[in-house]
């Protein structure tokens, strides 16, 4: 393994694809059909389920694009903040805990319990000439990574037989984690992580 979210005089109720001010509305009542598109009674009889405003096709595309771009921008910002948080971690515990968790993820062994992560963490520490933390302290570092949004932590309870414990898995794309880990220095990477580092260089 090792390689080092109606009054009668008001505008009829309708459902919209986005903001009302942009007019991108799909109407779903007879009154709103007449108000929006001036649809005749005969037309409404042919299309009783609702009609599409004439401007819908043109405007809805813009609405959807704006919505998608907004989502992408928010996602990019969140990932940038998480990446910044990872780069600000302390080497002694967080770096090594992150590398151990990444190795298990690359082996498709996540979600993982502390009993799975700790032995691997300990070996990484020893090969990196770093005194390993005790199991409880190392578990605190995994909890820190979950607070930062890097890891996802789920509590499990198997009753008297198995007791209560936590499982950890990455809450961010592995590509993001790998990009950060590749810049760690003085860490003896396990085999899969080392192979990625060598391939990137």
1-36 confidence digits (pLDDT tens)? 454 434 444 444 444 444 344 444 443 444 444 444
What pLDDT, on the 0 to 100 scale, is given for residue 151?
95
Q: How many residues does the chain have?
A: 201
Place 54 in a pLDDT band, splitting at 50, 70 and 90.
low
Two structure tokens written together for 155: 């509590």
Beta carbons of 101 and 110 less than 8 angstroms apart? yes
Which residue matches tokens 């005194």? 131
Q: Which CATH code fits 88-200? A: 1.10.10.10
- The percent of the chain in helix, strand and coil, each rounded to the nearest 5, is 55, 10, 30
Give the whole-angstrom CA distance, residue 128 versus residue 105: 20
Q: How far is CA 1 from the centre of its chain?
A: 29
The CA dihedral of 63, 65, 66, 68, to the nearest 10 degrees, is 120
Domain ranges in the chain with CATH number 1.10.10.10:
88-200
What pLDDT, on the 0 to 100 scale, is given for residue 162?
76
Give the whole-angstrom CA distance, residue 74 versus residue 48: 39
Place 199 in a pLDDT band, splitting at 50, 70 and 90.
confident
Q: What is the sign of the dihedral through the CA atoms of 148, 149, 151 and 154? A: positive
Two structure tokens written together for 139: 């578990």
What pLDDT, on the 0 to 100 scale, is given for residue 14?
41
pTM of the predicted protein model = 0.61
| Rounded to 5°, angle at Cα 25 from 24 and 31 | 150
- Among 61-70, 131-140, 149-158, the minimum mean pLDDT is found in 61-70
What pLDDT, on the 0 to 100 scale, is given for residue 3?
42
What pLDDT, on the 0 to 100 scale, is given for residue 88?
76
Longest dimension (CA), the chain: 83
Beta carbons of 170 and 177 less than 8 angstroms apart? yes
What pLDDT, on the 0 to 100 scale, is given for residue 96?
94
What pLDDT, on the 0 to 100 scale, is given for residue 36?
46
């Amino acid at each position: 393994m090792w390689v080092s979210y109606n009054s009668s005089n008001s505008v009829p109720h309708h459902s919209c694809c986005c903001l009302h001010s942009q007019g991108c509305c799909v109407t779903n009542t007879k009154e709103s059909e007449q108000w929006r598109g001036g649809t005749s009674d005969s037309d409404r009889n042919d299309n009783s389920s609702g009609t599409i405003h004439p401007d819908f096709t043109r405007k809805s595309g813009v609405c959807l694009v704006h919505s998608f771009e907004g989502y992408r921008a928010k996602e990019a910002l969140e990932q940038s903040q998480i990446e910044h948080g990872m780069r600000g971690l302390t080497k002694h515990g967080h770096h090594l805990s992150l590398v151990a968790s990444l190795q298990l993820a690359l082996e498709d062994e996540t979600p993982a319990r502390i009993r799975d992560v700790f032995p691997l963490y300990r070996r990484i520490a020893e090969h990196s000439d770093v005194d390993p933390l005790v199991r409880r302290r190392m578990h605190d570092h995994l909890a820190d990574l979950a607070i930062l949004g890097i890891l996802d932590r789920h509590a499990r309870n198997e009753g008297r037989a198995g007791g209560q414990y936590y499982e950890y898995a990455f809450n961010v794309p592995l590509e993001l984690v790998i990009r950060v880990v590749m810049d760690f220095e003085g860490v003896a990477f396990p085999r899969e992580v080392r192979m990625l580092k060598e391939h990137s260089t």
